[in-house]
Chain A
Amino acid sequence: MSDIAIEVTGLGKRYRIGSRAPAPRGRWDALRQTVGAPFAYLRQSLREPTEAELLHALRDVSFQVRAGEVLGLIGRNGAGKSTLLKILARITEPSSGRAELHGRVGSLLEVGTGFHPELSGRENIYLNGAILGMRRAEIQRRFDEIVAFSGVERFLDTPVKRYSSGMYVRLAFSVAAHLESEILLMDEVLAVGDGDFQKKCLGKVQEIAGHGRTVLFVSHNMGMITSLCQSALLLEGGRVAASGPASEVVSRYFHGERNTPYLVDYRSSSVRRGDDLATLLEASVRDPHGRPAADIDIRSAFTVTMHYTINQAVSIAPFPQIQVYDTQGACVFVSFATSTPSFRVDAGDYVATCHIPGNLLNNGTYYIGIALTFRHLGIHTSFIERDALAVNMIDPIHETIDEDRMGYGGIMIGMLRPKLDWTIEPTTK
């Protein structure tokens, strides 16, 4: 019991949304509606709302977070993430259900809450700290740390309205990051500041998580979720759609209902994959140690394997191939096993392994299709399984930020993220 930090059972939240008044018929009706509007408004807001006027932002949400766990909360806009966070932060009350939080709760739903533009940086540290729930003694104790972290020492006695937006946000994050709470609720606050500061923020969050504090983290940046969180919770339409290891939940998020397998055994499948020439037995994504894995570090090489049976000897060996798609369904690349021998092969079981180098794919989820094509009687594909496998490429930002990202902590766009050789030479003497 003591090792559960947050326990949520059957949490629900209903909002009342107005229903529209019918459009007036004619001028007389319009006048009557205008005059009657206050009464209609009062009548509508005082009676019990009807089902049509209610919006269920959360329905029957239950989950547990162990002490020291970093849980990512993901979902599309309007899925109920913010509502859930607001309920846990006690900003609003649930309509049903119950949540128990064991330990002091700090919430960071926005940076700089309650900053007063006319007050100086120093004054705002105290004010903001107090609003976030810090004691004055606690703020005093950590004051130097907060200032040092924010890097605004020189402007401490300047009103914050004169700060650049970057300085403002840095100061605000610093105060919040030094909040000593056992449970921290965070909403996308990391998407602030320049690359250098983002790096510091990430490091800080990593540190917070490393100190046995429980963190509930909402983000739209899946790379961040997979690199910061052990587990994740996916909300869809106010309900928990999936929960479990972060990478699995993230790929579920990208692909809706579909599961994202990294090891598929077709032997047990009811439908046989293949034809009289060949049969697919198994396909997998494997880490550098040869173990089936859902998550691969973007820097490391990995393999895609397929086991198949060739049912009859053929004069020219068939070639296996893979197709790699991104989550939008665009093809990233296709690879044929061009190095297969072109002479005859016997019937029997084979395993084909495609070696994909590290530093090629970007972070995110990719779907891998596999196929086997014969060419002894013209081109003939024996089996093709589109999106048979999935792989989550993980960018551990806290590790890659220095060398690979040059301190930049934001989103690196593109289907690929190859590490290429560059040369830079002076052209002026």
Chain B
Amino acid sequence: MNSSDSRSATVIIEPVRGIRSLGLQDLWSARELLYFMLWRDVKGNYRQMAFGPLWMLIQPLVMMLIFTGVFGTLANLPSEGVPYPLFTYVALLPWQFFATGTRQSAQSLVSQQSVISKVYFPRLIIPVSAVLAAFVDFLSSFVILIGMLLFYRVQIGWQVLALPVFIVLAGATALTVGLWLAGLAVKYRDVLLGLGFLITVWQYLTPVAYSATLIPEHLRSLYMLNPMAVTVQGFRWSLLGIGDPPGWPAAASGLLVTALLLGGLITFRRTERTIVDLL
């Protein structure tokens, strides 16, 4: 905002009833702040740690080792002809992105209350930057995946071009859940405890450790309404070339997320006006 247009800027403050605009243009005008918040989250989190950002990589790696040991070796679950570590790591990446993004964005308003109660900026920045911070973690774990793809000599096909769609789907799902819960968590802190439980259950409904082919055929469509199942299957399809390309259930799931995301945005806008009074 330069001084010429700011002089004419008029702020009108009055109680708003009903639905108001989603405030996406506010988010755009505050993009620099979004950048700084993200930078603060990413940079601040790993200061004064011997391993620093390496911790971002350790979690999915450890999970991969555990899953490989328990499900791949002990339970000997099928992995559609792909080495099990690769099979599960490809799924763990978007899953971790979603789980971290959801958790961080859902608790973002509560954890940032000292800032929220002292200065105004579009509140949407807070959950959005939480999801973006999870995306930064995701990117660094992705480097390991590239190493694994090279190690197992996987042939990457043209399907890899579809990968960004699934990344966006995972991020949008995380933001959707985060938006619905962030405002609620301010009012009822119970939500944050329940969220951990929800994520655990959700993980079992998503083919992270097992193959979606194990799901009975007649339940498959219902199962694929889970956007994270679509994401994980999409990752496997576009990177490893296994499974079917996403079909109608995936599209339906995408539409569902879009609708829920819009609803989440509206709910968030409704709660953000008085959120400070409840903190």
Contacts and interface: CB of A to CB of B under 8 A. Distances in A.
Contacts of A101: 10-13
Interface string B35-56: 1110110011001100000000
A96 B15 contact: yes
Interface residues of B, number: 37
A71 interface: no
Interface stretch (A84-92, A232-240, A417-425): A84-92
B116 A91 contact: yes
19 contacts: A16-B277, A90-B11, A90-B120, A91-B118, A91-B119, A98-B14, A101-B11, A104-B6, A118-B47, A118-B48, A123-B40, A127-B36, A127-B37, A127-B40, A130-B32, A131-B115, A133-B121, A135-B32, A182-B7
B118 A94 contact: no
Interface string B112-137: 00111111110000000000000000
Contacts of A109: 118-119
Contact of A102 (B1, B10, B117): B10
Contacts of A126: 36
Nearest to A13: B277
Contacts of B43: 118-119, 123
B120 A91 contact: yes
Given A91-B119, A94-B15, A103-B9, A119 B40 contact: yes
Contacts of A130: 32-33, 35-37
A182 B49 CA distance: 42
Contacts of B12: 98-101
Contacts of B33: 130-131, 133
A417 B162 CA distance: 78
B276 interface: yes
A348 interface: no
A350 interface: no
Nearest to B187: A45
A130 B39 CA distance: 12
Contacts of A182: 6-7
Contacts of B10: 100-103
Contacts of A159: 47-48
Contact of A91 (B39, B47, B276): B276
A45 B177 CA distance: 23
Interface in A211-263: none
A308 to B, nearest CB: 55
B274 interface: yes
Nearest to A12: B15
Contacts of A132: 119
Contacts of B118: 91, 107, 109-110, 113-114
A93 interface: yes
A89 B115 CA distance: 13
Contact of A92 (B6, B35, B37, B274): B274
Contact of B9 (A88, A104, A114, A118): A104
A94 B47 contact: no
Given A98-B13, A101-B13, A103-B6, A15 B120 contact: no
B3 interface: yes
Nearest to A136: B32
B16 interface: yes
B14 A97 contact: yes
Contacts of A103: 6-7, 9-10
Contact of B14 (A94, A113, A118, A127): A94
Contact of B119 (A16, A89, A123, A181): A89
Given A127-B40, A130-B33, A135-B1, A93 B120 contact: no
A95 B15 contact: yes
Nearest to A45: B187
A60 interface: no
Contacts of A99: 12-14
B273 interface: yes
A294 interface: no
A104 B37 CA distance: 22
Given A99-B14, A116-B44, A131-B121, A92 B7 contact: no
B223 to A, nearest CB: 33
A283 interface: no
Nearest to B116: A91
A235 B37 CA distance: 36
Interface string B261-279: 0000000000001101100
A93 B3 contact: no
Contacts of B35: 130
Contacts of B6: 103-104, 181-182
A131 B115 CA distance: 9
B53 to A, nearest CB: 14
Contacts of B40: 114, 116, 119, 123, 127
A119 B47 contact: yes
A181 B118 CA distance: 17
A171 interface: no
A256 to B, nearest CB: 30
A104 B277 contact: no
A131 B123 CA distance: 11
Most buried by B among A16, A38, A102, A159: A102
A63 B12 CA distance: 15
A182 B35 CA distance: 25
Contacts of B273: 92-93
